[in-house]
């Protein structure tokens, strides 16, 4: 019996350690995605075309939501396990309530709406950027050509920004939704309120 108990304790500790490491790995990946999104947002500039800028701005708004939600999710998780921001165990930290988790879940759903809005604008923005490039190539006047080429290049950069950020956004949003769903289910099923 004593051997069985020891085995169960060791197995529980291994599972707990594996789960904690899995969560830490997920948080590290989330931080990496948030950093990539922040870097992309920092380099984002509008081009002056309303349709193309609308797409770029929508992607940037969704990225800002994702970055903030990732930080909040990490903060809540650390509070849930009783860690301070620097990773030190602290028993005085107030755990987030179920209501706070649900509110974060709603914010993450709002992030998904922003991503959907952005992706709906992607095709039109790409087409508009292509048209600007074609128009610039047909201009004969060197003064007008320089301005049109600059606008076309800026429009292309906005579309490239959206194309680079969107897959990261989708991955991060899906990871956030999965994590928050698991946490809420655990809290509800465990009566851990």
Q: What is the pLDDT of residues 68-110, one digit of tens each?
A: 999 998 888 888 777 766 666 766 778 888 888 889 888 888 8
> Within 13 Å, how many C-alpha atoms sit on residue 29's CB side?
15
Q: Classify residue 143: in a domain, yes or no.
A: yes
* CB 61, CB 166: distance < 8 Å: no
Q: How far apart are CA 78 and CA 103, in angstroms?
A: 17
Tell me which DSSP letter residue 192 carries: -
Helix (H, G, I), strand (E, B) or coil at 155: helix
Domain membership flag for residue 16 = no
Average pLDDT rounded to a whole number, residues 2-26: 48
Residue 14 forms part of a structural domain? no
Q: Is residue 17 part of a domain?
A: no
Buried b (16+ CB within 10 A) or exposed e, 48-61: ebeebbbbbbbbbb
Domain assignment present for residue 153? The answer is yes
pLDDT tier at 188, thresholds 50, 70, 90: confident
pLDDT for 56: 96
Q: Structurally, how many domains does the chain consist of?
A: 1
Q: Is the dihedral of CA 89, 95, 100, 105 positive or negative?
A: positive
Q: How does the average pLDDT of the chain come out, rounded? A: 83
2 falls within a domain: no
177: containing domain:
49-190
108 CB-contact burial (10 Å; exposed 0-12 / middle 13-18 / buried 19+): buried
Give dist(CA 88, CA 83) in Å, integer.
5
Residue 30 domain-assigned (yes or no):
no
Asked whether residue 7 is domain-assigned, the answer is no
Given a cut of 50, whether residue 3 has pLDDT beyond it is: no
């Amino acid at each position: 019996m004593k051997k069985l108990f020891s085995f169960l304790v060791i197995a529980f500790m291994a599972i707990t350690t594996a789960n904690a490491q899995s969560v830490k790995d997920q948080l590290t990946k989330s931080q990496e995605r948030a950093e990539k999104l922040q870097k992309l947002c920092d380099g984002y500039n509008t081009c002056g075309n309303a349709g193309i800028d609308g797409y770029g701005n929508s992607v940037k708004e969704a990225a800002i939501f994702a970055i903030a939600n990732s930080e909040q999710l990490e903060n809540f998780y650390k509070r849930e396990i009783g860690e301070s921001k620097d990773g030190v165990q602290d028993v005085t930290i107030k755990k987030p309530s179920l209501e706070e988790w649900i509110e974060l879940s709603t914010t993450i759903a709002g992030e998904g709406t922003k991503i959907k809005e952005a992706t709906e604008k992607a095709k039109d923005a790409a087409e508009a950027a292509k048209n600007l490039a074609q128009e610039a190539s047909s201009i004969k006047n060197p003064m007008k050509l320089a301005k049109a080429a600059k606008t076309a290049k800026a429009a292309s950069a906005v579309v490239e920004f959206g194309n680079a950020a969107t897959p990261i956004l989708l991955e991060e949003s899906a990871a956030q939704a999965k994590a928050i769903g698991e946490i809420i289910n655990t809290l509800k099923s465990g009566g851990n309120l």
